[in-house]
Amino acid sequence: MSTSEPYRTLTTRGWIFFTTLWILAAASLYNGAALARCQTAEAIPAAAQISAGTPQNDGLWWKHAVIYEIYPRSFQDSDGDGIGDLNGITERLDYLQSLGVDAVWLSPIYPSPQVDFGYDISDYENVDPQYGTLADFDKLVAEAKKRDIRIIMDMVMNHTSDKHKWFVESEASKSNPKRDWYVWRDAKGVGANGKPLPPNNWISVFGGSAWEYDPKTKQFYYHKFYKQQPDLNWRNPAVENAMFDSVRFWLDRNVAGFRLDAIPTLFEDPQMRDEPATGGINAQSDPNLSDIYTNNLPQVHDVMRRLRAVTDKYPGNRVLIGETYLPNVQDLDKWYGGAQRNELQLPMDMQVGFTNKLDASLFRQRINDAQTQINGNQPLFVFDNHDNVRSWDRYGDGVHDEAIARLLATVLFTSRAATLMYYGEELGMVTTTPTRKQDVKDPIGITGWPKEKGRDGERTPMQWDDSKNAGFSTAATTWLPVAENYHTTNVKTEEGNPDSLLNWHKKLIAMRRSDTTLRDGKQVMLDETNPFVLSYARESVGENPAIIVALNFTGEPRTITLDPSTAGITGKTVSTLITDAPSLRQVSSLQHMTLPPYASWVGSVK
């Protein structure tokens, strides 16, 4: 569950709603070994392709971080029950280290009835037994630290499970001290059928009215998501105090920070006004409504400033990451706290990764906005997560899918942004949507079938090798079936192929870790009117040369001539650092360079 679900249905299911190296030689060796360091993808030594050391940075580890989302149910099963767990993640930390991951974001592992697979939390200060114990969690944190990997928790602050002790008390009676911890309202009246009418027309993201009637106390409670996920009343200071105590519980266990789920939805209009209709119906057959009274209300920023003050008291530069599907970059800037920088360090910029069409002009505009319109704050780009059809399917054309995946990875790792990946993205894992309703596990797929088939397809088990269940589990049956392509698309196979998508990711991440230009250099667009090719420069930092990136967003060859002097770069010749086009391996000039279909090229300027 998350606010990404409305956006997901906009982008992939048709509902109108707008809304993842080893350090090369020291600087003195870096310049003299420009060609050797990675003149082409194929030229990188095998050892350099698969190992990664501690990145150099300015002390703010999250600023250049590669954050890797793990859906714990689907990453690695250590006990053979068909469900992934914490000890399974610990077993796979060496792989994450070799990839170059700086931090792991765990989707919820708290005790939960699992109505929404963990996003309905019944206890914020423990671990669900199916994932392990607090001791297993502590071991994961400790083992990850040995590999310079941090652990980030998913914190769901908008709502709890209806089985949480707070809600059990709240629904007990109107006079219960926790009654006002949730959003309760009287009926609007009585309908023609004699049943109480909801307080207003608000619709649940997951279908039907956002109000659930409680016959015992004769009031409705509000739920932005499932009825088993009642919304907390953040206008009650006691709610904030209790939730911040849970935040401190995990900070005290040395988590590196939090990804804040559905965070713009904390507040609702106190006047309970009807949302304006926008026309048509969604996949759940509900009318499409604006969300101006239930999403991104200004009071949420006061809470974010106070939450930031809590986390800032802890050492180690703890980080707050926001699930922030927003309509424009101006709203995104507010989530940083603007120039004050006193809210989230990394609200997710979904405007780049979820355009869902390969449009060079649109990518150029949105990347440039992220570089210039957020008061110098650090962007966080993401193309994949647990709520959206995988980027392989959203962007692929069925013919050049792997080349397009390389192109997207190049955007992700050569832009001046922190990056967020989703498990299996680096392999080219595909969306495996159920074909029969009886196979669907995600409740939204059950209620929305066949227009909305749910999110199971992007949550299938990680593909480690070509053995049974792709090496994910020894169980006879896994919680979701493994995708059929696991025999060829898996870690073991791709690690052994220097030209694989996995090794492409490793090379890009390794370059980014070792090169201050790729980490810190200003990003400046080149050839800004080209509708087919996205090109940009990363300005030189220190002794490291400037870098040029050129990406063909089309299925046709495109010839370009780039003038780096428009970015203040004086060099005239270039050498290839990495490319997936054999014809570009020996490029030495930016004059009349022809990029094959969907080709990616990255070079340094001499």
- Active-site annotation, residues: 261, 323
CA angle 343, 425, 517 (to 5 degrees): 60
Are 420 and 105 a contacting pair, CB within 8 Å? yes
**DSSP 8-state code for residue 223:** -
CA 547 – CA 605 distance, rounded (Å): 6
Residue that is written with structure tokens 């796979």 in the block: 92
What is the DSSP pairing of strand 196-197 with strand 287-289?
Answer: unpaired
CA 15 – CA 278 distance, rounded (Å): 11
Which candidate, 520, 534, 260, 515, places its Cα nearest to that of 376? 520
Structure-block tokens of residue 359:
């449009």
Angle between helices 299-312 and 237-251 (to 10 degrees): 30
Q: Is 244 exposed, middle or buried (0-12, 13-18, 19+ CB in 10 A)?
A: middle
The helices-and-strands tally (H runs, E runs) of the chain is 19, 22
Are 254 and 141 a contacting pair, CB within 8 Å? yes
Structure-block tokens of residue 494:
């791709």
CA 397 to chain centre: 23
3-state secondary structure 32-101: HCHHHHHCCHHHCCHHHHHCCCCCCCCCCHHHHCEEEEECHHHCCCCCCCCCCCHHHHHHCHHHHHHHCC
3-state secondary structure 480-512: CCCCHHHHCCCHHHHHCCCCCHHHHHHHHHHHH
CA 597 – CA 584 distance, rounded (Å): 12
